[in-house]
Amino acid sequence: MSQDGPVPAPRILVTGATGYIGGRLVPELLAAGHGVRCLARSPEKLRDHPWADRVEIVRGDVTAPDSLGPALRGIDVAYYLIHALGSGSRFEDTDRQAARTFSEQARAAGVRRIVYLGGLTPADVPESELSPHLRSRAEVGRIFLDSEVPSVVLRAAVVIGSGSASFEMLRHLTERLPVMVTPSWVRTRIQPIAVRDVLRYLLAFADRADDLNRGFDIGGPDVMTYRDMMRAYADVAGLKRRLILPVPVLTPGLSSHWIGLVTPVPRSIARPLTESLRHEVVCQEHDIARYAPDGPGRPLRFTEALELALRRIQEAQVATRWSSAALPGAPSDPLPTDPDWAGGSLYTDRRQIAVDASPQALWRVIEGIGGDNGWYSFPLAWAVRGWLDRLVGGVGLRRGRRDAQRLRVGDSLDFWRVEEIEPGQLLRLRAEMRLPGLAWLEMYAEQDGKGRTRYRQRALFHPRGLLGHLYWWSVAPFHAVVFGGMARNIARTAGRESNRKRLKATESN
């Protein structure tokens, strides 16, 4: 039961609820009075969302027919908001098979409509010449439209909203590079759309009773080049005018490396974004307005979308981020609780220290770690590790935090992912930097038998092959500085904050 009364029986399924768009669509559907079921490979990632107790969450995978049957049972409208990422043909095969499996299972379950958010494609470019990712999005849309379930396919170009990968790429390129030598794709015309309008269009098909089966181009009112977008961002953000010098020599591969170094968006995501930007993506029609009337001031202009996104970031109200979704190549294995996990090695670095503060004060420091607060030890070492990670295509340290004070399961935290939280007691992070193995970091706020506060810390590493073992022993000499310093500084910070509060309370009395 929610605070607002009985939860309606689910009649809408949302796939990709742990991602950027799906995580924002769910509360919109709930606000409109719909019963919602969420399909997730890792349901625990949705556990701490503010709407989690108002939806039904089921474990499943769109590539696994056995898990889709129960998830689609009793569903009228199914939102398909997931995409594979990667390189080569494998991700296209995954996308294709997942879409076919989903449409077949939806037909068998009696689903009335599938709603899919794909990519906007140029009208004058043969599909075979599209970037692999645009080509795959187009193919998935066609699979749904050709299926036996009536489908609505929405095709969007660049989505602008706080936390979207496209917005983060635009923001960091513009803020960090007052003079830019840029790829030729900065001259490509694009029709961006505000995330609010994307959600409004998606929501419009939640309760239609007809058998509509067609695709729609969706975009904002502005058609502009990427260079125009960067200059508009500089104006809205109050930055000096940016000097942008396009050159023809930066290929999509080189561009993705460059973006990976300058922005928080890792190469694995930057590459499909930049590959797609070589095509002009402009809406050929606006028929969507017949089914979702725009009204005054809608769709939002590009500068209005920017202003809203920046305001959300400044107010720390970013509901979802691109990094909420699992990244390509990131480990997804659960924490190894057995030291002999999988019959292999598990290296451990343990630290514990007494803290002159309450467990609650210590927990506030633990939960606030990362992002602007840093990692409480040897900042240069963490910065170098972040740069090295980005050089090999990893996420680096620039993802930061979704919220400056609160964490929830599934949040990205620099180059970690929050795997488990026991409020006031345990924070467990799983590494998403590029490593020859799997790594976790655990932080505990505890009390001993005499009521004294204790901070306990555990770093774990499960090596992969000989390189993994060599990696551990090569960095082990630095653990006393990095992990030991972290434990000492977290304890000191908690004690200092606790003393400050005690002193303030004494002065007020």
pLDDT (0 to 100) of residue 258: 64
pTM for this one?
0.69
pLDDT tier for residue 252 given thresholds of 50, 70 and 90: low
Spatial CB neighbours of 338, under 8 Å, sequence gap ≥ 6: none
Contacts of 462 (CB under 8 A, 6+ apart): 336, 341, 342, 344, 345, 346, 347, 437, 438, 439, 468
Between CA 234 and CA 307 the distance in angstroms is 11
Percent of the chain, pLDDT > 70? Answer: 82
Number of other CB atoms surrounding residue 314 within 10 Å: 9
Report whether the peptide linkage leading into residue 248 is cis, meaning its omega lies within 30 degrees of zero: no
Which band of pLDDT confidence, cut at 50, 70 and 90, is reported for residue 337? very low
3-state SS track over 342-385: HHCCCEEEEEEEEECCCHHHHHHHHHCCCHHHCCCCCHHHHHHH
**Phi-psi group of 410: left, alpha or beta (phi > 0 → left; psi -120 to 50 → alpha; rest → beta):** left
> What is the CATH number that goes with domain 341-508?
3.30.530.20
H or E element that contains 339 = none
Res. 128 pLDDT band, cuts 50 70 90:
confident
Under a CB-based contact definition with an 8 Å cutoff, are residues 425 and 444 in contact?
Answer: yes
**What are 173-183's pLDDT values in tens digits?**
787 777 666 66
Report the alpha-carbon distance of residue 156 to residue 232 in Å, rounded: 20
* Cα 11-35-55 angle, rounded to 5 deg: 115
What SS3 state is found at 204? Answer: coil
| Distance separating alpha carbons of residues 190 and 49, to the nearest angstrom | 33
Structure tokens at 432: 């998403």
Averaged pLDDT for residues 476-496: 91
Domain ranges of the chain: 1-155, 157-193+218-278+298-319, 341-508
Q: Which of 73-82, 239-248, 257-266, 375-384 has the highest mean pLDDT?
A: 73-82
Three-state secondary-structure class, residue 246? strand
Reply yes or no on domain 1-155 having CATH 3.40.50.720: yes
Q: Any alpha helices (H) in 368-464, and if so which ranges?
A: 379-391
Mean pLDDT of all residues in the chain? Answer: 83
> What distance in Å separates the CA atoms of residue 2 and residue 30, rounded to the nearest whole number?
11
Query: 157-193+218-278+298-319: which CATH topology?
Result: UDP-galactose 4-epimerase; domain 1 (3.90.25)
Residue range 397-411, pLDDT digits in tens: 667 788 878 898 888
Neighbouring C-beta atoms of residue 103, cutoff 10 Å: 24
Q: Work out the pLDDT band at 336, boundaries 50, 70, 90.
A: very low
